[in-house]
Amino acid sequence: MWPSTLRRIRRPGTAPAGIGQRGFSLLEIIVTLVLIATVGAMMVSFLGTQLSQGGRTAEWMRDEFELSTVMEKIIADYREELSGETLDLAVFMAARDTADEVNALYGSEIDDVQVAATAFAADPAPSADFTESGTDPAVRKLTLGKGGQRLITIFTE
């Protein structure tokens, strides 16, 4: 007999080799889908708040950057007037005591500006920190606010 004429003998009622053995069984597909759903549910529960609040962090950083930029410009103007010996702190702060004035001067979108005369005293605790105590017209506290961010700087004559 020639090799091309040899046939494989099989039992009666069985399919030829290779037929019906391709692909996945229904049980394997169901188990895989259940595992994927379980892992997906765990990921949503762990990462859900980060995904929903991810934009808030970027917004806070943008607000903080704008506050810092505006405060740096105010400090630069303050130093310029201080070095030119033309600084009158009351006049300098009066020109920057509202959000509209600050926004017009520096091209910003600050929500809130607060200017207050303040004074400091040594904290009685041994930490040597200082706490606000009363008012002194030669010391001004400038607070800029945007969104939930606040930036405070102290100016003196």
Is residue 148 very low, low, confident or very high in pLDDT (cuts 50, 70, 90)? Answer: confident
Q: How far apart are the first and last CA of the chain?
A: 115
| Residue of 134, 35, 114 lying closest to 67 (CA atoms) | 114
Q: pLDDT confidence of 30, banded at 50, 70, 90? A: very high
**Domain regions of the chain by residue span:** 56-156
CB 81, CB 87: distance < 8 Å: yes
User: Is residue 36 over pLDDT 90?
Assistant: yes
Q: Mean pLDDT score of the chain, rounded to an integer?
A: 81
